[in-house]
A and B are shown apart, each in its own frame.
Chain A
Amino acid sequence: MSYFSTRFSGYNKKRLRFVYAILLPIMVWMFIFNIFPILYAFYLSLFQRGIMGIGAMKFVGFVNYGKALFNDEMFWFSFKNTLYYVSLICTIHLLLAFFVAMGLYKVTNRYRSLLLIFYFSPVVIGMVVGAVIFSYLYDPNVGLFNTILTFLGLPRLYYLTQPSIALPSLFIVNVWLYLGFDAVIFLAALQNIPQDLYNSARVDGANSWQRMVYITLPLMKPIALFLLITTFVGSFQIFSLVWMLTPDGGPLNSTTVLMLYIYRTAFQHYRINYACALTYIMFMITLAITIVQLKIGKSSWQY
């Protein structure tokens, strides 16, 4: 008896043929376009080329990584910008979404579904169109925001050209875009908390604040952690918004985030190999922080 027939006994031959006829081409495609690029990026990051990507590739080991970490101010500057943006999103944005969810939880069903259409509409509109709208709202002369400020007797703001507020201005667009979306995820978790818990706490004489602290918040922890991680990973890769509103990287590079820096390095300066190293560093940072968040989350679940 051959190895093949014993290995494949217990499987229906006709079904196996169907499975492999379908699965193999799809898996090969996935390998070429979704898995191989990751490995290829690492391979490329170990080489160097002449200026403007001309000349033969030369193996240099981890030189590109060293250069990025110890000898590239722009990398650290864009990293700092990215972290600033991410920290705004992971704190203020998520808290706002949680408050909106708490509010939506308390109103009547009919009113809630009406409000949800409003809160959810930006997701349908999308980031690119949203950015266009905000570029109009942010216009220093004719934009709505400055019109309101002038009406209130306050000085005008230069939302996208003033270094100190350029990145927060982008953050506002992100809040607008995803507030309803994240609130809906919180809301679903709130609605999953059994009413019995609240009722028995009420019988025990717990007031609304205590019910919030001892029931709602602990039970919301898993979903909050999930949102924290997905939001972190998502906003860490911010590109479209920056590209639409400040394609040049903002005043004094104040909106130059990591992804924009990588894009420029690869496709405007043609330093493909170096950009691959930057990509890998960025990937490692994301992975590390995700793992840390998971660890912290897990340890604080045990009570």
Chain B
Amino acid sequence: MTREKGFRISKEVLLYFFLSLGAISVAWPTIWMFLSVFKTTEEIMAVPPTFLPQTLNVQNFQDLFSRCPYFRSYLNSIIVSVLRVSFIVFTASICGYIFAKFKFPAKNALFILTLSTLMVPIQMEIIPLYLIIERLGWVNTYQGIIAPSVVYAFGIFLVRQYMQGLPSDYIDAARIDGLSEFGIYLKIAIPLMKPALSILIIITFLGAWGDLLWPLIVINSTEMRTIPLVLSALSAAGRTNYGLLLSGAALATIPTLVVFFLFQTQFVKTAALSGIK
């Protein structure tokens, strides 16, 4: 009896040990980055490496802002990400609401057409998309980056599913009170679908902020670069100045960390609900 209990406890200890070890290994690279950005070049190159930075050195950040238009790229990334998220939230919320709560001809056909875009990943479309954007004269512009991701079929699907589960009583009541259809959408539907929208905001913001492939194709001037393009250019330029590279990467995590802490509880649920990376 005692023997079995001893066996159980050690099994449990092992479980906690390996899970914690895994958790630390996964979190470690990020922590290592934040520790390294304050190290001097000599300290980064030192073997064996130091754990904590010896001095609180900010030279890396100064270099970052003086050597490349990092600030401008940061601004570009924020503008593009905020616009992309806003457009997607608008189109997804209003289309999802319409598909869930309205009756109109060709409704099913339009919905299926919308969903069909989900089957084809954007990677498959980049070449013809580039030709279209070039024809429109949108190369090297914000609208060039944003145009393909104004309508996000998964968002429409998400909002529609969510709205279908809600009763229409509020909407009918508002109609009797004489509110316009757009007013109903704005004042009744939007507040009702807030949980679905916060999920959508998280997914699309992370996606937009880290997007590399499409901006790589549609942007070729230095001042229009977004942050992922700057990081890829910095790392391609040479793996010698890690201080510069890591400080650029560390600053790039701030907006996503802010979103993470704002929606922390919603976050894990998002993963389970959507399964979208």
Contacts and interface: CB of A to CB of B under 8 A. Distances in A.
Contact of A100 (B19, B246, B252): B19
Interface stretch (B58-66, B97-105, B161-169, B189-197): B97-105
B74 interface: no
A131 B150 CA distance: 27
B110 A27 contact: yes
A40 B120 CA distance: 13
A128 B127 contact: no
B22 interface: yes
A110 interface: no
Chain A facing B: main interface SS:
helix
A150 B113 CA distance: 57
Interface stretch (A213-221, A233-241, A295-303): A233-241
Nearest to A39: B128
A116 B268 contact: yes
B121 A237 contact: yes
Between B36, B116, B132, B212, the greatest number of chain A beta carbons within 10 A of the residue's beta carbon is seen for: B212
B6 interface: no
B9 interface: no
B141 interface: no
Interface string B173-210: 00000000110000000000000000000000010011
B104 A16 contact: yes
Specify which of A32, A132, A240, A276 lies most central, judged by the most chain B CB atoms within 10 Å of its CB: A132
Interface in A108-130: 111, 115-116, 118-130
B1 interface: no
A35 B209 contact: no
A76 interface: no
A267 B24 CA distance: 41
Contacts, number: 250
Contact of B29 (A7, A134, A234): A134
Contacts of B236: 247
Contacts of A178: 277
A193 interface: no
B212 A133 contact: no
B31 to A, nearest CB: 9
Interface size class of B (residues with CB under 8 A): 35 or more
A150 B48 CA distance: 10
Contact of B49 (A123, A142, A185, A272): A142
B151 A122 contact: no
B19 A136 contact: no
Given A11-B103, A23-B110, 11 more contacts: A10-B103, A26-B94, A41-B128, A118-B27, A124-B257, A125-B30, A126-B209, A126-B252, A130-B29, A133-B249, A188-B271
Closest CB pairs A-B (n = 4): A188-B272, A118-B23, A18-B181, A40-B128
Interface of B: 15-16, 18-20, 22-24, 26-27, 29-30, 32-33, 36, 44-49, 91, 94-95, 98, 102-105, 110, 113-114, 116-117, 119-121, 123-132, 147-148, 150-151, 153, 181-182, 206, 209-210, 212-213, 216-217, 227-228, 231-232, 235-236, 239, 242, 245-246, 248-250, 252-253, 256-257, 259-260, 267-268, 271-272, 275-277
Interface of A: 7-8, 10-11, 14-16, 18-20, 22-23, 26-27, 29-30, 32-38, 40-41, 44, 100, 103-104, 106-107, 111, 115-116, 118-137, 139, 141-142, 144, 147, 150-151, 176, 178-181, 184-185, 187-188, 226-227, 230, 233-234, 237, 239-240, 243-245, 247, 259, 262-263, 266-267, 272, 275-276, 279, 282-283, 287
6 contacts: A38-B120, A38-B124, A128-B231, A133-B30, A133-B246, A142-B47
